[in-house]
Amino acid sequence: MDISSMAAALKRRQAEASRRSFVRVKIILENLNGKRKGFAAGLGKNTRTFLGVLRMKAVAVAGIGRQKGQAVKQALADGFQKKLQRLKGISRKKLAAVGIILALVITGAYGTYIYNQGYGYVLVVDGQEIGFVVEDDSPVLESFLAQVKEEAAIYYETDVVMNEKVEIIRDRRPGEHIAVGKVQDELQQNLSFSVYGYSLKIDGLETVVLASEKDFDAVMAIIKDTFVDNGNAILQDFIIHEDLDLEKILVAPDVFSSVEDTANLLLQGTNQRKTYLVSRGDSLYSIARNQNVSLTELQDANPQVEGDLIRPGDELNLMMMVPLVNVSVVEEETVLENIPYETRYVNDNSKYTTYSRVTQEGSRGQKEVTYQITTENGREVDRQVLHVEILKEPVTKVVERGTIRPPFTSTGRFGWPLPTGVGTLTSPFGWRGGSMHYGIDIAASVGTAIRAAESGTVTTSGYRGSYGNLVIINHSNGYSTYYAHNSRNLVSAGQRVSKGETIALVGSTGNSTGPHVHFEIRRNGNPINPMNFFRR
């Protein structure tokens, strides 16, 4: 029951109490009138007028409320004395009758007053009595309840709902009244409030509670801004794959999630453990890169891995942040792109293969391309060409080159296995992590050309265990060179190659922590330090 309903009920009960009091006095007077009808008829006009006045005074007494009983009786007695002064001509018998009637009226009215004094109101909260107050204090309680609710609404800056059921019940309990201030204190300790919020459900599962629908719109705006390109791209479609629902519910005022925290939770999600099965050519570095985790995080999650050694079929633990919502975005974007030029070779059969000369420089062209790009959680998963306009045609480069192979002789001095100036030495020759490293590691981008360090014959070209893709060249003077972890071998066993000729491309196959070439020099089958042949 709300405050306005309780107030209306109290007013109805007070009106009913007043009506009952009036009826009781009226019945007493009518009984007295009926028994002395003949007697009253002989009292005369003045006496009957006096009795009418007494009847009205009795009615007034019944509705006095909380006035003192003695004061009421004294007032009636004083009025009676004045009336007696006016009735001096009446006989003693008539005066005695009038006295009897007056006594009965006063006694009835005072009795009604005493009876009504026992009435009051019981305050009940969730079935538990809090206190009993006199009737006149019920408006005070109504006002207090309204004030407490209003103060809660101001504090929480929103409409509030009282959690407890409050009832004000009229009852008669003489002598059990409690001071209204004490009841108010007790009532305030027993009241609590809830507010309306919006439960955000993702695929039916409750995640957080937002303060308003406006907050939900703000969360959606943050998610959209995170994945939608605000540059030249034109948004075609924006899809959240999960079902998002808002349900208006009553909650405690302190459970709301902020807009920023909710957006971060939906985008970043929670940590979940997954298992990754190592495949051929995998390395810790490539797995960490492809799974979007740091190498340190991957190593910390897999203490069973010794060093960097992993093998196909091994299972690795991945601790990954899994978002609560998955977002697909389709955009249309128009960009300018260079058109690479082609190189055309003109063979000169009179010159050695070491000869080449550019007879026409090439130049790149330019085109305008319109793509339809689809991303999932920010990662591109599809790109389709919608339109291409050529703005400038490329110019072909023309190179003249010789075709005669020079004789294959080894100089005994080895060249750098990558293009001049390319590559970083990341691991030297010698003991490393408790085992012998028989060569040097030179890091470079995937696809970088690997060149023969010296002329010779290819004896091995294929996949070999921890080496991954491996090329071995025999230089016919007791020396041989190894080129390992290649993404692709470009030569075959038995093929003769020249110093500086491209034989493979940099990769990360076998037991590798990242794209590099593992380069070995062996003399009579024994590994020697390759850096002995190069100046640092």
- For residue 341, is pLDDT > 90? yes
- For residue 435, is pLDDT > 50? yes
Compare 287 and 99 and report the one with higher pLDDT: 287
Please, what are the domains in the chain?
3-116 (no CATH), 120-191 (no CATH), 197-257 (no CATH), 270-322 (3.10.350.10), 327-404 (2.20.230.10), 424-533 (2.70.70.10)
Cβ within 8 Å of residue 110, ≥6 positions away: 61, 69, 72, 73
Q: What is the pLDDT of residue 422?
A: 85
Q: What is the pLDDT of residues 106-115, one digit of tens each?
A: 555 555 555 5
Q: List b or e across 426-462, with b for residues whose CB sees 16 or more CB atoms inside 10 angstroms.
A: ebebeeeeeeebbbbbbbbeeebbbbbbbbbbbebbe
Encoded amino acid at 109, one letter: A
Q: What is the pLDDT of residue 486?
A: 97
* Beta pairing partners, 238: 329
Q: How many other C-beta atoms can be found within 10 angstroms of the C-beta atom of residue 387?
A: 11
R_g of the chain, CA atoms, integer Å? 52
- For residue 227, is pLDDT > 60? yes
What pLDDT band is residue 534 in, cutting at 50, 70 and 90?
A: confident
> What is the rounded distance in angstroms from the CA atom of residue 72 to the CA atom of residue 405?
140
DSSP tag of 66: S
- For residue 502, is pLDDT > 60? yes
What pLDDT band is residue 77 in, cutting at 50, 70 and 90?
A: low
Cβ within 8 Å of residue 485, ≥6 positions away: 467, 468, 469, 506, 507, 508, 509, 510, 512, 515, 516, 517, 518
- Tell me the mean pLDDT in the region 218-234: 89
Mean pLDDT check: name the lowest of 160-169, 329-338, 403-412: 403-412
* Beta pairing partners, 464: 468
pTM: 0.48
Cβ within 8 Å of residue 226, ≥6 positions away: 263, 267, 327, 378
Q: What is the pLDDT of residues 5-58, one digit of tens each?
A: 554 555 565 555 545 544 554 554 455 444 444 434 444 444 445 445 444 544
Q: Determine the longest span between alpha carbons in the chain, in angstroms.
A: 171
- CA-wise closest residue to 368 among 348, 338, 410: 338
Q: Kindly state the tokens that stand for 203.
A: 């695929």
- For residue 356, is pLDDT > 60? yes
- For residue 242, is pLDDT > 90? yes
DSSP tag of 231: S
